[in-house]
Structure 1
């Protein structure tokens, strides 16, 4: 557990999410096919047939545009010529079936293997980010330290900045309480190891909760005299949150359910990983 992080080589390219949005669409289609094959995506009953072909691709791209551009469902429905109710129902159904969580897990393991690492991490980094939220959001509180009225997004990421567990809570919930659902998600996935966080995660109560789940909470100082110190791998979660800030749907939270907010966080990381895996540099073969 050191500070060295050596990601796989990718072909150089300027950051442009729209240039590689097709990679996101392809990965979602692959996962939908896999879910239909193993029975985790049952056939939808109703008078209208399921979307297929070019219309399905357009719907997936519309959901991505909601996440990246922060568009309203009604607006993207007008632009895509697909009823916004159909788009929202499709997003809600896929969220309920666990599509985004399943796809993100597969891409994360694929990226770790491409980096020459094992599929599952031995340590994670935990942290939270306070975001302003609309009055219609599922929860709202005031973060007194950051003077933000909204919610907190809780993350547990591995050394390549990719999340293993995501949760959200009102911004006035203390980090030691808000991170508990994340720790439970980690335990359900079979993670056993250290969870590194800042000094906000100190306390015997949280330590006991972690011990009961087989997770060791390791609070460490990440700053001194107002200067950030990249201690061990604790700094990687800050880059994860900076990536999320590029997705406008996650800057001011308007979701009416926590599950939909978590889904948009997962969509953001799926988009990042899809582009990255598409640009993997081919391995050189020795003559």
Structure 2
């Protein structure tokens, strides 16, 4: 049986992700303000004034729509009245400055604290998901097991299913090789502990690489005779992949850079978390 995970209690809301989309916009705006204050978001001079007020909120909403609805940049530009080049430039610049990763880390810590946990986890779960990709994508390979030509996204999540590290590579890269950059990201943020994965992460080479980073990869059986077994907390990563499958931009990959694909994965989780935090019950907020 799987280990029970008790999240913080939240009020009920509509299943529609548009219901609380303003929470996503508000969180991005607050993080942009914080980055401008600490100097990690330098101001830039140009021939046109920077977007502010309602126009900036509309631009953030447009980036969210690209991720959730799978819309093209030119299409969302026509609908919002903002040049698509402006929207794409904003997204690319914020990705380069690390806005999405920084905001996601903050929201993850807030959610863990609301659940009565420590800010940093002691155990993570690792896995990968293979997605079909367009020929113009930054990388492409064939996953022999799933018979999919595309990209493999590897992530490490904590017990609530929130990602601590994300990486992407061609689908023909084996899991034991594709997870190493994820483990390096975990070690870079100071994590040292067990990483639970399925039996695809067995092997002496991976074990040595992880041990050098202070991480112990622990493969567990998660299925038998075609039946999924919720071993310990290993099941939470499957739930995380099901969450982001609602975001159409992540179902067929068209991004021309790995950084932009990772950014859209982070945006999806930011959207999920900001919605949850807005619906926290009063007693959870007070704690």
Q: TM-score, normalised by structure 2?
A: 0.98
Sort the Cα spacing of 1:32 and 1:54 in 2 relative to 1 into closer, same or farther, 3 A.
same
What is the DSSP-based 3-state SS (H/G/I as helix, E as strand, rest coil) of the residue aligned with 1:256? coil
RMSD after superposition:
1.1
* Number of positions where the alignment pairs a residue of Structure 1 with one of Structure 2: 284
User: Does residue 234 of the first structure (1) align with residue 227 of the second (2)?
Assistant: no
What is the DSSP-based 3-state SS (H/G/I as helix, E as strand, rest coil) of the residue aligned with 1:125? strand
Query: Does the CA contact (< 8 Å) of 2:126 and 2:156 recur in 1?
Result: yes
For residues 54-86 of structure 1, what are the alpha-carbon distances to aligned partners after superposition, in whole Å with 9 as ceiling and x for unaligned? 000000000000000000000000000000000
CA drift of 1:14 comes to: 2.8
For residues 225-268 of structure 1, what are the alpha-carbon distances to aligned partners after superposition, in whole Å with 9 as ceiling and x for unaligned? 11100000000000000001000000000000000000000000
For 1:44, the equivalent position in structure 2 comes to: 44
CA drift of 1:284 comes to: 8.3
For 1:75, the equivalent position in structure 2 comes to: 75
For 1:172, the equivalent position in structure 2 comes to: 172
Q: Which structure 2 residues correspond to residues 109-128 of structure 1 after superposition, within 5 A?
A: 109-128=109-128
- Which stretches of structure 1, 4 residues or longer, exceed 4 Å deviation after superposition? none
State the alpha-carbon separation in 1 of the partners of residues 3 and 38 from structure 2. 39
For residues 91-132 of structure 1, what are the alpha-carbon distances to aligned partners after superposition, in whole Å with 9 as ceiling and x for unaligned? 000000000000000000000000000000000000000000
State the alpha-carbon separation in 1 of the partners of residues 44 and 59 from structure 2. 16
State the alpha-carbon separation in 2 of the partners of residues 91 and 14 from structure 1. 28
State the alpha-carbon separation in 2 of the partners of residues 246 and 283 from structure 1. 30
State the alpha-carbon separation in 1 of the partners of residues 47 and 205 from structure 2. 53
Query: Does the CA contact (< 8 Å) of 2:8 and 2:284 recur in 1?
Result: no
What is the DSSP-based 3-state SS (H/G/I as helix, E as strand, rest coil) of the residue aligned with 1:267? helix
For 2:32, the equivalent position in structure 1 comes to: 32
Task: Name structure 1 gaps, 5 residues minimum.
Answer: none
Task: Name structure 2 gaps, 5 residues minimum.
Answer: none
For 1:249, the equivalent position in structure 2 comes to: 249
State the alpha-carbon separation in 2 of the partners of residues 172 and 284 from structure 1. 44
What is the DSSP-based 3-state SS (H/G/I as helix, E as strand, rest coil) of the residue aligned with 1:58? helix
